[in-house]
């Protein structure tokens, strides 16, 4: 595991990002909010992609207030609903109309441990943690490749996963059809499968980029740790009786500022390229973690099935 003998990576280590453009999904709260703020602090123009206009715009004003007018932070908003493939594609098209480069894409948005429900595209809503970010990322891929071809580019795609992907061992994932994806498994198994999808997206992106001759885009998966964020809403809606335990859990959770460190490291640190961390899985703080066999996907079947299913869903829904 690299980094065990070095000082813990900190926000102060983020390099100057002037001239860089970034996207952060789910940027109006929690880990996404901190990621937006710190990328903007270092000079990047940051796009906050979020579902609710009022919350996003209020969050942008809050970030600007925290950073102060002297920094002149550049933060813009684009509507993005993780549950809708059409929304993801439209968000990407809107971004491409506004910008001619994209250096950092942080797929941060997500839900956890929600009750079984189908979203507007007929996809189980936790599975949208994977399908929604696939639709956004693939729609942005031509611009990401164009940026990677520019001089002195450092393009990163960071997908927020979770150690919860290990829950998949209690319910074998199957991406051969929408019906299999939508199977009503237990709440936590469905969450685990969605987080496995985030890792498979990272793996497949890196492989397909290499096959296309693009070798300088770095794709990474990140587990942020146990963080005190609004993700707890899902479990509390599923099991209201857990409310007292949620207060206890807070005692063992890190703050969003601490939780965002690993995704900020993945998005900005020169070490990613120095150590050639392609398709890597990172745990807190900024530590390389070996993937379990399902996530390693050595024969590529899970990843290729996931990719093919998402492409089919986009043709049908987006």
- Reported as a single tens digit per residue, the pLDDT across 150-174 is 999 999 999 999 999 999 988 789 9
CA dist 113 and 231 (Å) reads 9
- At 59 the pLDDT is 98
Indicate whether 236 pLDDT > 70: no
First to last CA, the chain: 41
Cα 306 → chain centroid = 17
- Reported as a single tens digit per residue, the pLDDT across 30-89 is 999 999 999 999 999 999 999 999 999 999 999 999 999 899 999 999 999 999 999 999
CA dist 95 and 119 (Å) reads 24
Strands (E), 102-250: 104-107, 155-160, 217-222
- Reported as a single tens digit per residue, the pLDDT across 185-224 is 999 999 999 999 999 999 999 999 999 999 999 999 999 9
**Residue 259: closest CA among 108, 50, 44:** 108
Look at 18-27, 37-46, 247-256 and tell me which has the smallest mean pLDDT: 247-256
Domains of the chain: 11-317 (3.40.50.720)
**Residue 70: closest CA among 40, 47, 35, 48:** 40
Residue with token string 């004003």: 61
What sign results for the dihedral spanned by CA atoms 231, 13, 2, 210? positive
Q: Using alpha carbons, list the distances in angstroms from residue 35 to 10, 60, 99, 268, 318.
A: 13, 12, 20, 11, 28
Name residues whose C-beta falls within 8 Å of residue 316's C-beta, 6 or more positions apart in sequence.
none
Question: Catalytic residues, which ones?
Answer: 191, 195
Count of H helices and E strands in the chain? 13, 8
Give the torsion through C-alpha atoms of 230, 156, 286, 135, to 10 deg. Answer: 40
Q: What share of the chain is helix, strand, coil (3-state, %, to 5)?
A: 50, 15, 35
Instruction: Record the pTM.
Output: 0.92
Name residues whose C-beta falls within 8 Å of residue 68's C-beta, 6 or more positions apart in sequence.
none
- Reported as a single tens digit per residue, the pLDDT across 130-144 is 999 999 999 999 999
């Amino acid at each position: 595991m690299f980094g065990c003998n070095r000082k813990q990576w900190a926000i102060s280590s983020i390099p100057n990002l002037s001239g860089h453009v970034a996207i952060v999904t789910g940027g109006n709260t929690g880990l996404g909010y901190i990621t937006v703020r710190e990328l903007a602090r270092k000079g990047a123009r940051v796009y906050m992609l979020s579902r609710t206009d009022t919350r996003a715009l209020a969050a942008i004003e809050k970030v600007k207030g925290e950073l102060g007018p002297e920094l002149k932070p550049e933060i813009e908003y684009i509507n993005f609903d993780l549950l809708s493939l059409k929304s993801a594609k439209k968000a990407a098209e809107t971004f491409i109309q506004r910008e001619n480069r994209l250096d950092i894409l942080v797929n941060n948005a997500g839900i956890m441990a929600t009750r079984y429900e189908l979203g507007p595209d007929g996809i189980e809503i936790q599975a949208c943690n994977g399908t929604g970010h696939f639709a956004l990322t693939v729609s942005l891929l031509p611009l990401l490749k164009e940026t990677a071809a520019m001089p002195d580019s450092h393009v990163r795609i960071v997908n927020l996963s979770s150690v919860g992907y290990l829950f998949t061992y209690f319910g074998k994932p199957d991406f051969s059809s929408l019906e299999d994806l939508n199977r009503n498994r237990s709440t936590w198994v469905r969450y685990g499968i969605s987080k496995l999808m985030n890792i498979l997206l990272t793996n497949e992106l890196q492989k397909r980029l290499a096959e296309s001759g693009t070798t300088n885009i770095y794709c990474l998966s990140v587990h942020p740790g146990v963080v005190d964020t609004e993700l707890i809403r899902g479990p509390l809606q599923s099991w209201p009786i857990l409310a007292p335990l949620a207060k206890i859990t807070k005692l063992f959770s890190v703050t969003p500022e601490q939780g965002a460190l690993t995704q900020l490291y993945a998005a900005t640190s020169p070490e990613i390229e120095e150590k050639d961390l392609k398709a890597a899985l990172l745990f807190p703080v900024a530590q390389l973690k070996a993937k379990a066999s399902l996530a390693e996907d050595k024969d590529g079947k899970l990843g290729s099935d996931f990719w093919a299913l998402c492409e089919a869903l986009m043709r049908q829904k987006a």
